[in-house]
Amino acid sequence: FLSVLSKYENQITIFTDYLEEYPDTDELVWILGKQHLLKTEKSKLLSDISARLWFTYRRKFSPIGGTGPSSDAGWGCMLRCGQMMLAQALICRHLGREDWSWEKQKEQPKEYQRILQCFLDRKDCCYSIHQMAQMGVGEGKSIGEWFGPNTVAQVLKKLALFDEWNSLAVYVSMDNTVVIEDIKKMCRVLPLSADTAGDRPLDYLTASNQSKGTSAHCPAWKPLLLIVPLRLGINQINPVYVDAFKECFKMPQSLGALGGKPNNAYYFIGFLGDELIFLDPHTTQTFVDTEENGTVNDQTFHCLQSPQRMNILNLDPSVALGFFCKEEKDFDNWCSLVQKEILKENLRMFELVQKHPSHWPPFVPPAKPEVTTTGAEFIDSTEQLEEFDLEEDFEILSV
């Protein structure tokens, strides 16, 4: 009976919203900044989509917080979508958007395995469902409660502080406004020389006061994960935003969007005409751990079915756009694309400004909380979380 039940559970969402074969059309399909001509490049398109890491509901993992749920079915879909967006950023960071491809059974570079291991359903993996659910407590979400796109963004911003391997700067925009000055302040860091490298924070050095010609003093750039939470209407998406929203999927920095329908999150990765293409986390699979040789069997982390589509006007208006800028020139390029394509609209989807607004609190780049227990990886239970003064230690200023 249980095996029948698990088979049924796996099929449960395949009946809803499932698509007919992709139509034969001369239209372009855009997937995360890459275009495919549907008529002639259908197999290339499908393999590009199946290469994305796909995170779904899982069951039979160790209980969250020791006594909490051992499955996220029914509540973890937005967390899984956040994981997919972040995983795409890490793939761009280590493997590149253009150069890397995935095939079943094909041996992958070691960075690929390491990225996958960041997301396994274990409390010691930095972006696991355990870490995300527990970090959500500091955002006012109890474990097992559904997250919205902005909450996931805030949680990823905090967890990234404990991820030294990727060393990402995560910026979550506030009030529909992206501030160039604040992002540059957060991402430009002065590389420390070996003798001074300690625990002190990396210093920010402006380009203007560098000593010319000494590469040792050039500010390095922390790879940027930029998340823009938006409300594109009151109860449904306002059609005036459709073109600008689609334009974001064409940008080479695109990480897609988090959104969907109320309590039903999807990871949107592209579009065809007025239909959005998405990866759906609503399939329950069994927990997968590393094998004895230290690798992860990745067969259940890629969606090999034809991807699902949804009319853009059926989208819930609460969404979060994601972008990845590995180098400063990628961010500068993103700014000029936004000025050209997003800010030209009469009703702008979001604002991009040079200077920090004077009526906002000062911008404080996120820093690791100064607590005796140093990392989220050591938070084993919600009781332990509640011992901290959450406001002071865990709530990082979101401006």
* CA–CA distances in Å: residue 351 to residues 151, 174, 178, 229, 361: 21, 10, 6, 12, 18
Residue 399: which pLDDT band, with cuts at 50, 70 and 90?
Answer: very low
pTM: 0.82
> CA angle, 33 as apex, 27 and 34 as ends, to 5°?
55
- Residues 246-268 have pLDDT tens digits of 999 999 999 999 998 878 999 99
Which one is catalytic: 77, 81, 92, 303?
77
Report the C-alpha gap between 360 and 44 in whole angstroms. 46
- Residues 100-126 have pLDDT tens digits of 778 776 777 888 889 999 999 999 999
Which one is catalytic: 282, 316, 325, 330?
282
Report the C-alpha gap between 270 and 30 in whole angstroms. 5
Query: Mean per-residue pLDDT for 360-386?
Result: 60
280 among known catalytic residues: yes
E strand or H helix at 318: strand 318-325
pLDDT score of 387: 39
217 among known catalytic residues: no
Query: Mean per-residue pLDDT for 199-220?
Result: 47
Which one is catalytic: 121, 280, 316, 330?
280
- Is 50 a residue whose pLDDT tops 60? yes
Is residue 58 within 8 A of residue 285, CB to CB? The reply is: yes
User: Which amino acid, residue 321?
Assistant: L
Query: Mean per-residue pLDDT for 192-207?
Result: 44
Is 340 or 4 the better-scoring residue by pLDDT? 340
Nearest residue to 349 (alpha-carbon basis) of 234, 238, 227, 184: 238
- Is 330 a residue whose pLDDT tops 70? yes
Report the C-alpha gap between 255 and 53 in whole angstroms. 12
Residue with tokens 């865990």: 394
Phi-psi category of residue 137: left, alpha or beta, with phi > 0 → left and psi -120 to 50 → alpha: alpha
393 among known catalytic residues: no
As given in the structure block, the two tokens for residue 29 are 């399909």
User: Which amino acid, residue 192?
Assistant: L
CA 248 to chain centroid:
15
CA atoms within 13 A on the CB side of 165: 11
DSSP string, 171-204: EE-BTTEEEHHHHHHHHEEPPPPTTT-SSSPPPP
